[in-house]
Chains A and B, each alone.
Chain A
Amino acid sequence: MEILKQIKYRPARVAGGYTDRLLRIDLTSREINIEKLAPDFKAKYTGGRGYALKLIWEGTTRDTRYDSPENILVMASGPLGNEPGFPGTGKFIVGTISPMTETFIDSNVGGHFGPLLKLAGFDALAVTGISKEEVIVLINGDAGTIAIAEAPRYDRATDDGALSYGDRLLKEVNDGQYSDCLAAVSAGRGALHARYGVTHSLFYDRRRHRIRSKQAGRGGTGTVMRAKKLKSIIVRSSLPKANGNNPVDKKGVRAAGRALKQVISKADPTQLHLSAWGTTILSEYMDKFHIFPVDNYQYGQSPDSSKLFAHVFLDNYFSHRLPDGCYYGCNLACAKGAENVELTRGPGAGRKVSVDGPEYETVGAVCCMGIFDPQYVMEYNWYCDQYGIDVISTGVTIAFFMECFERGYLTAEDTGYELKFGSISAADKCLHEIASGRGLGRVVGQGVARGKKWVAKKYAARNKASEDEVMAELNKFGMEVKGLEFSMYISKESLAQQGGYGFSLKGPQHDEAWLIFIDQVYQEIPTLEDKAAALKWFPLIRTWFNATGLCKLHWIDVRNPEASATPEPSKNLPTLAHYVDYLNATTGSHKSLQDILDDSERLYILQKLINLRQGKGTRSSDQIPLRAMAPAFFNEYQSRAEYYDRWLGQNRGSRKLPASPRQRHKLLIERRKREYQQLCDAVYEQKGFTANGIPRRETVARFGLLDEEARRLLDEMGV
């Protein structure tokens, strides 16, 4: 391995959850710098997403694109990451300017990389520049060295795969042995061709005796990595992980961790039981309540859905009785995996592979293409991981093209083959084309937003139609907002979740707000005001998790039995109290839950400012496709006509419904569109925004964010 640049350093000690050090690496100049962060930096920006936002706000401009040299790829845990005494502390954030949305994106991911980066002396890593040749970065906290090295070459199959390359590298730098003192991030060949390349987080699993992977999946962070010609980063530290944060109050950390672990071990087995089944358990509940995104989100259910329910994967694929946490100390342990899965398709046919997953989102992506074959789910999962592309954006974009084909917007001449819902051979061909940048895959790899333009142009030219008119039709079912594809839930019947997707600053990924069940099923937020309040509160608390290095599932998917006695059970406040205790014991702060929400709101407003600067911050960017709020086409209406007619009846008081089903469908669409606009007004008011979705000057000032650039931006917006 040829070292191109190396520096020596003395790793800063972690104290109270922080090292107060930022590692900056510029791949153009090969400069490596360690920056000591000012004391108020952590006070203002917390960690994780907050650090990424601040660095990108200051270090990029409105002209920065994903492949601009000045674009920054930030990786940061947070003050609460890296504590085996508390569950779910392996998370870190990968943040950057996205190839999909052209504004800030971040994706949170589990594994050991974030904790080890901190133990190696860094709260965050910021990579800029573009290397001349493909490189890797080695951060060795034990030896006190940081190096940029030429990316080693093995054989083509190994080099192309995000999994295989990272695996090989992790062995090579450790004398051929796996070790849990090492972790890596990597990006694969698919990220060279698709805009939705993922960043893998690779770590050694002592129970499975192999390297496992989790993904920072959304928005193309891996594509940014490969645009910088960065194939992998490896971090090493042998410092003990227990008490690795050197908390101010060790006993307090232990008490908070013990309390939360007790809630999880008692409540999870009687609820979703994620520890046994993983997130695939969600498929059945989504199908039951018409939320499973069948055939590009047209139908929420299918008679074939049960082929993809959790027990199928548990019985046929998952390794049993293995606690599958992605970091030490997690007793929710939802990261399920399978061994010796034989590939039956694609270039790897005949090979037996280990599969990390599937998660619910992978299952949802496959049903989105109208496919209900569990073996294909496993293979799709593995190929997407090995190529390093996002299972969600891949599935949703293929599904969009399938629907274009079925509705006549595309012909076999355009696509090269019959691209129909349910066709495994077509989906699989398209998947491999995306990864290699060939054929139709070259277009599908650009995502739905850019795919719509391509389809509109083709169709308009062939039919001498107006491109704008074709786009208007495609916009009804092209499932993207701000350039990012929807995650795998149908929001048609939950106004709150329509907002959860539409207002989400990164685009329609549910980690900002997932309100479907508390709205549609539990009916805990019945009024417009309730929904607007939830659309302020949930994104703020979820932002905090992304700023601190924590997994959200222990709070959000295991309801503390004590919550039922509180006025707002959906907030699960008794569990959140353990998190507040954990924060204060680690950092020595004396914060309340409201203080945490205020900290988060600063980050939320900063992200909004970046969106405004990048042209994605006003009301028009919060608009969602018709299919996200209503049955876009008559066939969707017909599939649940009785339900929709009842809904219309309940919402029209004593007025009679139109006699014709087509008129009722039209009326339903009008009603749903009006409701969404009313929601926009209510939510903007709650958040301190103008009617155009722009933060008021006093809102920005309240969080100390009214710097020169923010002033100029708000001036331009007339606020």
Chain B
Amino acid sequence: MIVTIEFLGTQRTLAGADSVEMPITKKSRVSDALEYVIDKYPQLKLDKDTALVVVNQQLASRDQVFKDKDTISFVPFISGG
């Protein structure tokens, strides 16, 4: 089973990739993906406590369990001009 981690905006440049795939188990959670990205891509400077994580375009909690082929991304704070 895998999830796809998408890099958006400036993250894409910093990570040097549009997306990466992360193998998961039936027990893998959002927090695992967050730790994976923080470890592999420190240049993104994601904050473990404050990063907003979106799974399949829905805001996800840290303890949400993944399903196979979920898509995960990290969204900055946007509040309009």
Q: Which residue of B lies closest to A514 (CB)?
A: B80
Asked if A557 contacts B77 (CB within 8 A), the reply is yes
A511 part of interface (Cβ distance < 8 Å): yes
Interface residues contributed by chain A, number (CB under 8 Å): 39
Q: How many A-B residue pairs have CB under 8 A?
A: 82
Find B9's partner among A285, A515, A553 (CB 8 Å cutoff). Answer: A285
Asked if B54 contacts A521 (CB within 8 A), the reply is yes
Cβ < 8 Å to B, chain A residues 258-291: 269-273, 276-277, 279, 281-282, 284-285, 288-289
Asked if B81 contacts A553 (CB within 8 A), the reply is yes
Query: Known contacts A523-B59, A564-B50; is A285 also within 8 Å of B78 by CB?
Result: yes
Chain A residues near B46 (CB-CB < 8 A): 270
Tell me the complex Cα distance, A55–B78, Å: 34
Query: Known contacts A522-B59, A523-B59; is A559 also within 8 Å of B10 by CB?
Result: no
Asked if A288 contacts B8 (CB within 8 A), the reply is yes
Interface residues contributed by chain B, number (CB under 8 Å): 23
Asked if A556 contacts B79 (CB within 8 A), the reply is yes
Chain B residues near A281 (CB-CB < 8 A): 9-10
Query: Known contacts A518-B79, A521-B75; is A276 also within 8 Å of B50 by CB?
Result: no
Q: Which residue of A lies closest to B47 (CB)?
A: A561
Asked if B13 contacts A311 (CB within 8 A), the reply is yes
Asked if B9 contacts A556 (CB within 8 A), the reply is no
B39 part of interface (Cβ distance < 8 Å): no
Tell me the complex Cα distance, A557–B80, Å: 7
Secondary structure of the B side of the interface? loop
A360 part of interface (Cβ distance < 8 Å): yes
Q: Which residue of A lies closest to B52 (CB)?
A: A522
Tell me the complex Cα distance, A561–B50, Å: 8
Q: Which residue of A lies closest to B78 (CB)?
A: A517
A381 part of interface (Cβ distance < 8 Å): no
B4 CB to nearest A CB, Å: 13
Chain A residues near B79 (CB-CB < 8 A): 514, 517-518, 556-557, 559, 570, 572
Asked if B10 contacts A288 (CB within 8 A), the reply is no
Asked if B78 contacts A557 (CB within 8 A), the reply is yes
Chain B residues near A284 (CB-CB < 8 A): 8-9
A552 part of interface (Cβ distance < 8 Å): yes
Contact with A along B1-25 (1 / 0, CB 8 A): 0000000111011000000000000
Tell me the complex Cα distance, A293–B11, Å: 24
Contact with B along A504-521 (1 / 0, CB 8 A): 000000110011111001
Tell me the complex Cα distance, A361–B81, Å: 10
B57 part of interface (Cβ distance < 8 Å): yes
Chain A residues near B13 (CB-CB < 8 A): 311
Chain A residues near B45 (CB-CB < 8 A): 269-270
B63 CB to nearest A CB, Å: 16
A310 part of interface (Cβ distance < 8 Å): yes
Q: What are the 7 A-B residue pairs with the smallest beta carbon separation, nearest first?
A: A514-B80, A559-B77, A271-B76, A556-B79, A564-B50, A270-B45, A273-B10
| Contacts A/B (CB < 8 Å), 25 sampled | A270-B44, A270-B45, A270-B47, A270-B76, A271-B76, A272-B78, A273-B9, A281-B10, A288-B57, A288-B73, A311-B13, A360-B81, A511-B81, A514-B79, A514-B81, A518-B79, A521-B52, A521-B75, A552-B81, A556-B80, A556-B81, A557-B77, A557-B78, A559-B79, A564-B50
Question: Which B residues form the contact surface with A (CB < 8 A)?
Answer: 8-10, 12-13, 44-47, 49-50, 52, 54, 57, 59, 73, 75-81
Beyond contacts A272-B76, A521-B75: 4 other A-B pairs, Cβ-Cβ < 8 A, are A270-B44, A271-B76, A489-B80, A517-B78
